Amino acid sequence: MERALALPAPAKLNLFLHVIGRRADGYHDLQSAFALIDLADWIDIEPRDDGELHRSGDLLGAPDDDLALRAARLLRERTGIGHGADIRVTKRIPAGAGLGGGSSDAATTLIALNRIWATALPCDRLSEIAIELGADVPFFVRGFNAFAEGRGERLTPLALQPAHYALIWPQVHVSTQEIFSDRGLTRNTKATKMSDFSAAGDPGPWRGSEEGSEQARNDIESGRGEVVARVLARFGANDLEAVARRRFPVIGEVLEHLGRFGPARMTGSGSAAFAVVADEAEARDAVAGLPPGWCGWAVRGLAEHPLVAWQVHWSEVRTRIR
């Protein structure tokens, strides 16, 4: 069996996030647009013949709660494989930031072990295993920017043009469960159709508020983020943002800072937020000289997950988004 070193587990941004309603199973029905970015954790995996699974490197919380280790155990359980692995994770994506770091670690582990252990599960089957680990994990397994529905597991590919982002995390850990259970959370946003979302990226007739439309027009004329900037300025919102800002006012400060550089929005349940900017230089300007305790990155969107070539039947997905 081959070993796999320095495998990327990229973060994601929610270009918007709508809470449509609460489900009978206690989860929420959501709609969102997921965009991959080049901020990534790094995972090294080496096979073991003794059947042992060992986790090392940066570890947040108890080992048994680690999503990468849980992913390895679940894949072995579902396939009956008797092999083991040493899994080492080097964290760069902060936890509790809304960037999907733990979910991405789990997905990269599944993709890698599916190859290393020669289980050869097709992408659809691997995604079915992934949803047992968390709602965002199938997105990272499939590896394409996507319009997401349900808990986040129903995915339609999106052909987003890679954009530059200024990303800031104020080092506040936000509990997703606490945000979703807050009584002040709006849970009745009107559902949209995929065609409505696609139209938001179309440079045709302007819609939405005069201020938002003017911002989007300026973004396009200056080459700032193109499709992504139009989507942020003209479509949707993050329904979790108001609750997160009330609980953690520093998120509002971050958004105010980023708003001076381009359309800004919180990602996931927070506390990280991002702005779409013109180029890498402007992204670096936006994250330079930040207040003490704030962490910033100049990042770029990805057209697809770096490990798509390792997926089985990926060609079918690639054809859909051309």
Q: Is 139 helix (H, G, I), strand (E, B) or coil?
A: helix
Longest dimension (CA), the chain: 64
What mean pLDDT do residues 189-217 have? 53
What pLDDT score does 19 carry? 93
Q: What does the CA dihedral 226, 235, 288, 11 come to, rounded to 10 degrees?
A: -90
Residue 149 has pLDDT above 60, yes or no: yes
Residue 193 among the catalytic residues: no
Considering only residues 22 and 304, tell me which one the structure prediction assigns the higher pLDDT. 304
What mean pLDDT do residues 296-304 have? 95
Residue 211 has pLDDT above 80, yes or no: no
CATH number of 164-300: 3.30.70.890
Q: Which amino acid is at 83?
A: H
Q: Which of 66, 136, 219, 239 is catalytic?
A: 136
247-252: Cβ within 8 A, 24+ apart: 247/174, 247/178, 247/179, 247/182, 248/170, 248/172, 248/174, 250/170, 250/172, 251/170, 251/172
CB proximity list for 130: less than 8 A, separation 6 or greater:
71, 106, 107, 110, 137, 138, 140, 141
Give tens-digit pLDDT for 98-133. 999 999 999 999 999 999 999 999 999 999 999 999
DSSP string, 193-259: -HHHHHHHTSSSS--S-HHHHHHHHHHHHTTSSTHHHHHHHHS--BTTHHHHHHH-THHHHHHHHHT
Nearest to 110 by CA among 100, 101, 121: 121
Residue 190 among the catalytic residues: no
What pLDDT score does 272 carry? 98
164 within 8 A of 37, measured Cβ to Cβ: no
**Which CATH number, 3.30.230.10, 2.40.50.140, 3.20.20.140, 3.40.50.620, labels domain 4-160?**
3.30.230.10
The H or E element that residue 20 is part of is strand 4-22
Upstream peptide bond of 195 is cis (omega within 30 degrees of 0): no
Give tens-digit pLDDT for 54-101. 999 998 777 778 999 999 999 999 999 999 999 999 999 999 999 999
Q: State which of 194-198, 215-219, 259-263 shows the largest mean pLDDT.
A: 259-263
What mean pLDDT do residues 245-257 have? 97
Q: Which of 12, 66, 219, 239 is catalytic?
A: 12
Gap between the Cα atoms of 99 and 86, Å rounded: 25
What mean pLDDT do residues 265-276 have? 96
Do 164-300 and 4-160 fall under one CATH topology? no
What pLDDT score does 199 carry? 59
Q: Which amino acid is at 235?
A: F
Residue 198 has pLDDT above 70, yes or no: no
What pLDDT score does 188 carry? 76
Gap between the Cα atoms of 29 and 165, Å rounded: 28
* Domain boundaries of the chain, sorted by first residue: 4-160, 164-300
CB proximity list for 247: less than 8 A, separation 6 or greater:
174, 178, 179, 182
Mean pLDDT for all residues in the chain = 85
Separation of CA 80 from chain center: 30
Which residues, listed in sequence order, are joined to residue 56 by a DSSP beta bridge?
A: 88
What pLDDT score does 223 carry? 43
* pTM, full prediction: 0.87
What pLDDT score does 59 carry? 85
What pLDDT score does 159 carry? 80
